[in-house]
Amino acid sequence: MASLLLSYKVHPAGHWRGASETITLTYADRFLRRKKLVTDAGTAFLADLSGTQSLDDGDAFELSDGRLVAVVAADEDLLQLCSDNLVRLAWHIGNRHTPCQVEPGRLLIQPDHVLYEMVLQLGGQVRQVREPFTPEGGAYGHGRTHGHAH
């Protein structure tokens, strides 16, 4: 029986070439340290990273046999937020420490009925969409953040 391939290293997007396979992961699944994963083509491997990492679309796992597996952000159910005062909406979303993808003319967040109602009360528009979720990373270049510890 063949042993499970391992990955101890992730190459950041733009700093590698020549992936042999892809792996499509949701935003939640792109936050990991040690986990068995399966590529889109069916190759199983164990990601065993030195610390928990937040992976981005375009990063690549380096497998123990030298192959690279490109990370693809999966389509997810999201809420698209629009408003004549998008800055105000962004402040309220940020004040709740909610992951948010910021783009010109819109914000994207994960479904949340409380935030849905809040945006409507603030005069914004909400629409359900299905697309990749790549929210802003944490402040100070540390990826995802949890709470106020600095």
Walk me through the domains of the chain, giving residue ranges and CATH numbers.
5-73 (2.60.260.20), 76-136 (3.30.70.790)
User: What predicted TM-score, i.e. pTM, was given to this entire model?
Assistant: 0.86
Average pLDDT over residues 137-145: 56
Model pLDDT, residue 136: 85
Residues 40-82 have pLDDT tens digits of 999 999 999 999 999 999 999 999 999 999 999 999 999 999 9
CA–CA distance from 93 to each of 116, 143, 148 (Å)?
A: 11, 18, 16
Residues 17-33 have pLDDT tens digits of 999 999 999 999 999 99
Model pLDDT, residue 37: 98
